[in-house]
Amino acid sequence: MSSKENIRLTQTVQKGGCAAKLSVLDLKTILGQIDFPRRDECVIVDGSHFDDAALVRIASPQTLVQTLDFFTPIVDTPRTFGQIASANALSDVYAMGGSPLTAMAILAFPLATLPLEICTEVMRGCADILSQANTALVGGHTIDDDTLKFGLSVTGTVDEKKAWTNQKAQVGDKIILTKPLGTGAACAALKRSEVDEGQLQAEIASMTALNTMPPGFDMGCVHAATDVTGFGLAGHALNVALASQVALRFQFQSLPLFENTLQFIQKGFLTKAHRTNREFVNSELQISGLSDEQALVLFDPQTSGGLLLFVAEADVETALSQLRARFPMASVVGEVLPHEGPRLRIS
């Protein structure tokens, strides 16, 4: 067993964070072959439209928001990893317009190769974020495994009529993105030891930031929402376009990026997900006037990325100025079009 000081968590795993997910195409192939039991009388939203979380009616209009996310280390500092994994798991509840109540931990830990204090630090990071989210840790499960994995299953609530799904984006809506893009390339650079965590402060601050809305934000102005995570901006946007039966147009120049993003992509700090995310959207994507590096931003797998919010044009200025108090880089990045031609257009 090595001493805690010398251990860099990203060097203990093959793939980090949300880039380690199965691709959308693989998931569709697997799940399409199996008939799972349904409870249509109370399950309002399930996984069939690749929404962020499930909505289960308990006593109308109250619904449960249920979700689960876990992954391998994406940064080297154990406490930071715990913070990012927790903020990322809570995000799917916020992406449904819900308020988290309770969480259960999922922890795989390599007892043979890592000292137990690393586990304590990961859980300390989890507590940091759950206290910010006013969410109680009520249980969990651990397993001795070859590589560290951590995440949460989170339960929250939302009024059924006020829930944000990915199915109600309307033609004419403006699209707001709350956080910059580029955590995938940044974490690939860290894993290859091309940078250290100190050079990724903006990315880490963004990944540990909760996707909760600022106080006073009018939740009713949002028609549809999702968070941008492992499938990248293009993948998550396509899931909204398909579920809402619309097309989406993005302006590349409006997309908020981290200072390092294009440079990291130019240097080839990429993951397998950059390719699989492109494969998923390719037949529905029309790109004009972008360099290869710029196009790769669309497929960059985000860990604990921002929310994509679909807001009526009349409300977008107010929403954006409120959001900027919490998310300084929040920007209007595109609009919703009728569905004719490719589902995703970017210029």
Q: Is 92 in the site for Co ion (CB under 5 A)?
A: yes
Q: Which is nearer to Co ion, 76 or 92 (CB)?
A: 92
What distance in Å separates the CA atoms of residue 258 and residue 297, rounded to the nearest whole number?
Answer: 11
Question: CA-based angle 61:244:293, to the nearest 5?
Answer: 125
DSSP annotation of 230: T
Site string for Co ion, 226-265 (x = CB under 5 A): -x--------------------------------------
Q: Which is nearer to Co ion, 17 or 73 (CB)?
A: 17
Q: Which residues of 165-186 are buried (b: 16+ CB within 10 A; e: fewer)?
A: bbebbeeebbbbbbbbbbbbbb
Q: Which is nearer to Co ion, 21 or 174 (CB)?
A: 21
HSE-CB of 239 using CA atoms within 13 angstroms: 26
What distance in Å separates the CA atoms of residue 258 and residue 186, rounded to the nearest whole number?
Answer: 9
Determine the size of the site formed for Co ion (CB under 5 A).
Answer: 4
What distance in Å separates the CA atoms of residue 48 and residue 59, rounded to the nearest whole number?
Answer: 23
Cβ at position 212, least distance to Co ion in Å: 15
Q: Which residues of 98-122 are buried (b: 16+ CB within 10 A; e: fewer)?
A: bebbebbbbbbbbeeebeeebbebb
List Cβ neighbours of 31 (8 Å cut-off, separation of 6 or more).
47
Cβ at position 66, least distance to Co ion in Å: 12
List Cβ neighbours of 34 (8 Å cut-off, separation of 6 or more).
none
Nearest to 75 by CA among 152, 10, 149, 146: 10
Cβ at position 150, least distance to Co ion in Å: 14
Site for Co ion in 35-74 (CB under 5 A): 52, 69
Q: Which is nearer to Co ion, 69 or 300 (CB)?
A: 69
Cβ at position 236, least distance to Co ion in Å: 7
Cβ at position 308, least distance to Co ion in Å: 10
Q: Which is nearer to Co ion, 227 or 284 (CB)?
A: 227
Distance of CA 1 to the CA centre of its chain: 34
Nearest to 80 by CA among 156, 190, 154: 190
Q: Which is nearer to Co ion, 69 or 203 (CB)?
A: 69
What distance in Å separates the CA atoms of residue 124 and residue 29, rounded to the nearest whole number?
Answer: 38
18 catalytic residue (yes or no): yes
Q: For 168-202, give the DSSP string.
A: ---TT-EEEE-S-B-HHHHHHHHHTTSS-GGGGHH
- Classified as helix, coil or strand, 117 is helix
Catalytic residue among 18, 119, 126, 187: 18
| Residue 188: both structure tokens together | 């690939």
Residue nearest to Co ion (CB): 52
Q: Which is nearer to Co ion, 121 or 227 (CB)?
A: 227
List residues binding Co ion (CB under 5 A): 52, 69, 92, 227
Give catalytic residue positions: 18
